[in-house]
Structure 1
Amino acid sequence: MKLLELITYFRNGGSYEEFCKSHSIDIESEVVEIYMKKPLKIESELGFFEIEKTEGNYEYSSDGVAYSNLFDFYYFLDAIEESNNEDNVSLSNEDLTKLLYSYAINDA
């Protein structure tokens, strides 16, 4: 799954619980982190890992694949909620993808 697909899923009303279930993510995890496969490109695949596995590390490797942390799901879901408010609802999924990607690689 890519960042645009993730944004589209949640902006269209996708459920966090269903997402976790379909991606075998422990819903009881303290924090689920969103990582991007290296090298970082806006079209790179994402990985979703519980903080209990990543131990909060910026870099993480799973099944021989190197990932870098973008942000956690709490931040992401807050951004989705804000993007659906009256002031931002006209923002396209593509534009939101660019904004979140830029934040993750430049400001985080």
Structure 2
Amino acid sequence: MLRFIGGSLNLAELISFFRRSGKFEDFCKINNLNSESEVIEIYAIDPRDINSDLGFFPIENTEGQVVININGLKYYNLFDFFYFLDVINDVKGDEKISDIELAKRLLKYSEDDA
């Protein structure tokens, strides 16, 4: 499993990183992910909530599965990085929505609409 800078990372922290000018290529490099992968999917450890640890996996490894088991932990697909980065670009510079509120909205999206 890949972790952000050697530690756990939840959805609000991921949002904060990218809202504060984090770059996708840097994120991939830090986490030993191939930025040229067809798609990198964002998964959350069960139970899914805004504090759940995230995992980042290339679709070539997950084959688009909704649930994957890694080292005895069950991960649920939230959405792919393309969708996530589109949302981040839409709210960048908008201080009206907090990172936690955005995390809640994204989590709800993943449960209801994805």
TM surpasses 0.5: yes
Gaps of 5+ in 2: 1-8
Select between 29-38 and 98-107 the one with higher mean Cα deviation.
Answer: 98-107
Deviation at 1:40, TM superposition (A): 1.4
Aligned to 2:100: 94
Aligned to 1:53: 61
Tell me the distance in 1 between the aligned counterparts of 2:51 and 2:87: 19
In the alignment, structure 1 residue 107 sits paired with structure 2 residue 113: yes
Out of 44, 55, 78, the position equivalent to 1:70 is 78
Gaps of 5+ in 1: none
- Detail structure 1 runs of 4+ shifted over 3 Å in the superposition: none
Letter of the 1:105 counterpart: E
Aligned to 2:42: 34
Identity value in percent: 46
Structure 1 residues 47-69: Cα deviation after superposition (integer angstroms, max 9, x where no partner)? 00000000011111222211000
Letter of the 2:20 counterpart: N
Structure 1 residues 53-103: Cα deviation after superposition (integer angstroms, max 9, x where no partner)? 000111112222110000000000000000126xx4421111111111111
Contact 2:50–2:100 under 8 Å retained in 1: no
- Report the TM-score, using the length of structure 1 for normalisation: 0.92
- Report the TM-score, using the length of structure 2 for normalisation: 0.88
